[in-house]
Structures are given as C-alpha cells and as structure tokens.
Structure 1
Amino acid sequence: MHILFICRSKVGFDQNISPIVKNQGDSLVKNGHQVDYYLVGKGVVGYVQLVVGLRRLLKTNRYDIIHAHYSITSIFTTLAIPGRKLVVSLMGSDTERKGLMLFFIKIFSRYCWSKVIVKTERMKIRFNSERITVLPNGVDFDHFSILPKNEALAAVGFSADKINILFLADSTRKEKNVGLARDAVSLLHDHSVVLHEIYPVSHKMVPYYLNAADVLVLPSLYEGSVNIVKEGMACCTPIVSTDVGDVRENISTAAGCFIANGHSADFSKKIKEAILFGKKTDGREHIKHLNSCAIAERLVLVYKSVLKS
C-alpha cells in the first residue's frame, strides 16, 4: 500500500517530522508499506501552500491512502482535495479546541473525513462521530528497551552521583506544565535530585535519556495518547504522571509508576515514592499490546475499510 502522510513540519526533529508521526510511518514501512510525507510550512502561508502544493503533487503521484495529522492540517487538506477519501488523526492538542474550531472539527468529522482516528476513548466521546475509531500510538519495542545504566548516563551526560529526574517535552508549551515538576522537585529539599528539562532531542537519543533517568515525570494539563510514557514503560523507567490521556490505563497496575494530582505536594510525594522504588519497573510487560507493529496492522485495517467504503 502506498500512503501519503500530511503533517506540520517540526524543526529540530529527524527529517523535520514529529516523532509521533514518524514512528507511525516507520511502523508501516516495517510492515511492508511505502510511506511518503508532505510537510506543511509555518503559519497561514504554509497552509495556503499546502492547498496548491498538494494538488500539484497528486497530479503526478498516485496514493492508495492519504492520511492527515492534526485538525487544522486536516481541514486544509480537505479544502485542497474536496471529495477525496481522507483518513485523519486527531491528536492530544485537538481535544482542547474550543468555540468555532471545535465546531469545525465536529462538522468535518461527521461529514467530510472518511475515517477519524483518535487516541483515547475520552477523545471519541468529545468529538462524537460515527466515523471515529480509537487507535493509540504504538511503541517500537526494538528501539525502546532496557540499556545498561552506565552506558546511558555517559551518552547523555547525567551524573551517576545524582538522582536524575527527566522532563522530556517542550517546556515553553503551557499544557506541558513544567512548573508543576519544578515545584515538586523543589519541595523534596534534596540537592542530590536534579530535574533535567530536555527538548528537542533526536529520536535516536530518547532511549538513552529514559534509561539514564531515575524517574520520568509528565506533569501535563492534558494529553492524547502519551508516547513518552509508553516509551518510558518499554524502558522500564519509574514514572510519575498526572492523570491525562491514556496514562492511567497504561501505568496504573505497573509497580514503580504513579499517578499524581495537579498539586505540587502530591506530585512531589509521588516522585519521592518513585525514587524510593529504586529499580527498573515491569512496565514493558503492561504494554505488549501496544507494540508498534501490532498497531500498524490495526491501522492498515482502518485504511482497508476506507478503500472498501
């Protein structure tokens, strides 16, 4: 199957493609499919160029499936190629759309997009369309696995004499709520505990950071299907997270992983518990069903259903 992914350009990542989108594309390639990418530039100009550029691309290239990622990109893709079958993935940030934007997402979901993929049941309820299917992001178990701690520490430059807390997200984004992690670490009153705020980082290096960390923290206000938490579980890293996206269903039964509320005192308490846990978790065992190859097979079934419709 020849598939075209349409997504925003993300400067600083491999090939300027969001790791979430790239991981999904790579898993389809591993399963024997061909995936091309159309990257949308910044701002209004980027979306206008999408309309013109996509039409030009499709005049000379044939794709079995066109798959757009994120709501605004998907809306402009529909404007570029009205009447074409289109698979759309809505992400965590799309769950917080309000007002006119939320109205447009619901209208396009119900009447324009052939199939809409969301990451969690919460998202499905919010958008409320018969065309919606829930398909979480998968994890590449070959890439994300347990590495020797000393090797990981050396690779990322963390000190073996410190307790290393990892925040691996864009701290400038309000919804990532880095202030909660900073306050929680400060409340520990322990100078041996260091919070590392890492962003951006190459996909190749993420397993090293996860294996070097004593605790991975996710203090977000909202998320969809949280890749970094699942990747942390695949590396068996202790995790403290707020109750967002699909985190609870993935980590709630894993020893060494903790759900905290949005208050710094509770988040700090859970970090301390994770530090005291002091070893690798059994997280990998809890997410075997999220192996990226298995998720890719389910995605192909979605594509086939669209082609048959």
Structure 2
Amino acid sequence: MRVLNLVTTPRSRFYRQQVEALTGHGVEETTLAVPGHHEYGESDNGRTVFDYARFLPTVLRHAAGNYDLVHANYGLTAPHAVLQARLPVVVSLWGSDLAGRYGQVSRLATRFADAVVVMSEAMADDLGRDCHVVPHGVDLDMFRPEPTGAARDRLGWRDDARYVLFPYPQGRAVKNYPRADRVVDAARDRVDGDLVLQSVQGVDHEDMATYFNAADVLLLTSRREGSPNVVKEALACNLPVVSTDVGDVRERVAGVTASRVSDDDDELADGVVEAVGVDGAPDGRAAARTVGRERCTERLLDVYRSVLDAA
C-alpha cells in the first residue's frame, strides 16, 4: 500500500510515530508538508493563505503518481486532498482543527472525503457525520510503571513531598496553567506535607515516563483537547489523572482508581486530594491497553483497507 501523506508539519511527534508504526506494517509513504514557517505546538503562526495556495500544485503533481490513497493529517490539509480527483481520500482531524478558528474549513472539506478519522467520540458527535474514532496510540513499551523512588532519584525530587504533574510549559495558553495553580492551591491545605505543582518544559518525549512515574497525579486543565496522549501515557504508567472534561479523557479514565473528570475547580481539587492520598494498587495501565499503539495502528489500517475496497 502506498500512501501520500499531507501534513502542516512533519515534526509532530504523533505524526512521526504514526508513520513509523504504519511503515512497520508494510505501508510505503511520502510526506508533503505545507510550505512556510510553523512552530510545532503553537498556532499556525507565520503561515499565509499564499503558503496554502502554493501547496496545492505540489499535491496535485504528486497525486498523479503511483499512490493508492491520500491521507490528509490535520484539517487544514484536507482541502488539498479532496481537490485532487484521482485518489481516494482519508482525512484525520486532531482536535484544534475542528474546534479552533479554522474549524469550518475542516468541516467543509470532510464532506468530500472518503473516510474521516477523529480522536474521540465527542469529536465525532461535533462533526455530525460518519467517522472512524482512532485516537493516537500510546507506546506501552516506552510508558510503563517503575518504582516511584527510582524515578524521583533521577529527577532530584523530594521523597517527602506530593507532586502534581502539569505536563506542559506554563506559557501555553490553551493548557491553562493558572487554573492548575488555583486547583492545587485549593487542595494544598487538605494534604499532609508539601504539595508541589510541577510543570514540564524542554523534556524529551522518551523521558516523560520518568515524570509520570515520579508524580502522584497528573493534572490537566486544558481548555480543549482531542485525545491527549499525556493522559494515555500517564495511565500506562499507572498515574492517576484529574482533568477538565475535554476530548476523550472521560472515556479514557472511566473506572480508573483515583481519577476524576470535572469542569468545577472545587471538584478538581477534591480529585487531587483523593489521588495523592489513595491506597491500594493503581490500575490505569489496563485502561491504556485499549489505546496501545499497535491496536490503534491496526484500526487505521482497517480504515485504509475499507476505503480502497470501496474505490
């Protein structure tokens, strides 16, 4: 199977992992990225309408080659995919491309796609058409439980404190660090010992497992998400999760000990207090297995096959 991938940036960690996993299953791919400046993890700063316009001839030229389908990864590449008439089209929406400022572009383009992949049932409901729900998978070999003490030793964290992990830089507005700070402050007087809110910046992805294993709870206060991998990765390390009701987090943490989803600050603080004081064996890894990378890769391959069978 030969796939022409369209992306806004090939540096996306999720995208690189997807390509690696599909290549392991025999998929041959070529990646085309929208020209112009783009900082991964930020808004589409620096890009102009002209950049997207001059991307179209490149897509049309490659689509005339020896490919089986076009996969538009992120909604802003979907118009380019559907404007070529030769190959079947799969469009993947990642979250901000549906809920963000350019959501209408994604909605319009997906009407002409052969299949649409979204990260969560909530996104499918929002889009209002038949979709395949295939979240980004988590690497269960990279993210696995280890003793808390060993992880804290590597990070230089204290053994006598409780750590609430905010898994993003403080400055990313959509992740809403000020709310996390308020929630932890509200919980602080109800916890024995020091309660530390620990943000993360400049950490290599493979090192995040150490942070998950060193912390007592993951706190997510995002304003919007699709299917946040930090939640799945934390669960794979048996770290409880307390989160705002965004994306598919409620589905991911259903039934997981000491994990909670709420849009109320007091309830989020209650969740933090419960998580740092919980007794008994954690059980998040069992929930994470349902979104392991291998399983999610197979589901995406099934989407490809269904599109090709219908062509």
TM-score by length of 1: 0.85
5 Å matches for 1:62-81? 62-79=66-83, 81=84
1:10-21 equivalence runs, <5 A: 17-21=11-15
Alignment check: 8 A CA contact 1:224 1:245 kept: yes
Aligned length: 296
| Displacement of 1:19 | 2.1
Partner residue in 1 for 2:90: 87
Post-superposition offset of 1:58 = 4.9
Look up the SS of the partner of 1:217 in the other structure: strand
1:114 aligns with 2:108: no
Deviation string 1:10-53 (CA, Å, 9 cap, x unpaired) is xxxxxx62222223223223334334433334312543453244
Name the aligned partner's letter for residue 74 of structure 2: Y
Equivalent-residue separation in structure 1 for 2:219 and 2:153 (angstroms): 21
* 2:187 match: secondary structure: coil
State yes or no: 1:197 paired with 2:199: yes
Letter of the 1:86 counterpart: V
* Runs of at least 5 residues in structure 2 that lack an aligned partner in the other structure: 39-46
State the partner residue of 1:308: 309
1:123 is aligned with what amino acid? M
Deviation at 1:116, TM superposition (A): 0.8
The answer for unaligned runs of 5 or more in structure 1 is 10-15
Name the residue aligned to 1:13. Answer: none
- Secondary structure of 1:163's match? strand
Cα pair distance change 1:212/1:107, threshold 3 Å: same
Q: How does 1:50-199 map to 2 (within 5 A)?
A: 50-58=55-63, 62-79=66-83, 81-97=84-100, 101-110=102-111, 112-130=112-130, 132-189=131-188, 192-199=194-201
SS in 1 for 2:132: strand
Give the whole-Å Cα distance in 2 for the aligned partners of 1:200 and 1:4.
31
Q: Is the 8 A contact 2:5 2:73 kept in 1?
A: yes
Cα distance in 2, alignment partners of residues 280 and 34 from structure 1? 43
* Cα distance in 2 for residues equivalent to 1:280 and 1:62: 52
Judging changes above 3 Å, is the alpha-carbon distance between structure 1 residues 97 and 123 closer, same or farther for their aligned structure 2 residues?
same
Q: Which amino acid aligns with 2:3?
A: I
Distance verdict in 2 for CA 1:95–1:102, change over 3 Å: closer
Aligned amino acid, residue 163 of structure 2: N
Q: CA deviation at 1:93?
A: 1.2
**What is the rounded CA distance, in whole Å, between the counterparts of 1:206 and 1:36 in structure 2?**
29
Distance in structure 2 (CA, Å) of the matches to 1:297 and 1:149: 33
Rounded to whole Å, the distance in 2 between the matches of 1:154 and 1:236 is 18
- CA distance in structure 2 between the aligned counterparts of 1:158 and 1:145, rounded to whole angstroms: 19
CA contact (8 A) 1:165 1:214 kept: yes
Cα pair 2:69 2:87 within 8 Å, conserved: no
**How far did residue 104 of structure 1 move?**
3.4
Q: Percent identity?
A: 32
Deviation per residue, 1:73-118 (Å, 9 max, x gap): 2224444x354322111112133246xx4443333222x2121101
Cα pair distance change 1:290/1:197, threshold 3 Å: same
User: 1:293 — aligned with what?
Assistant: 294
- Aligned counterparts of 2:179 and 2:73: Cα–Cα separation in 1: 29
Cα 1:125/1:260, change in 2 over 3 Å: closer
1:226-241 equivalence runs, <5 A? 226-241=228-243
Partner amino acid, structure 1, of 2:245: D
Give the structure 1 partner of residue 42 of structure 2.
none
TM-score w.r.t. length of structure 2: 0.84
**Alpha carbons of structure 1 residues 280 and 159: separation in structure 2 relative to 1, 3 Å:** farther
Using the TM superposition, name which of 234-243 and 165-174 deviates more: 165-174
Instruction: Please identify runs of 4+ aligned residues in structure 1 that moved more than 6 A.
Output: none
CA distance in 1, matches of 2:211, 2:133: 30
**1:210 offset after TM fit, Å?**
1.2
Q: 1:107 aligns to what SS in structure 2?
A: helix
In structure 2, the CA distance between the partners of 1:282 and 1:231, relative to structure 1 (3 Å rule), is same
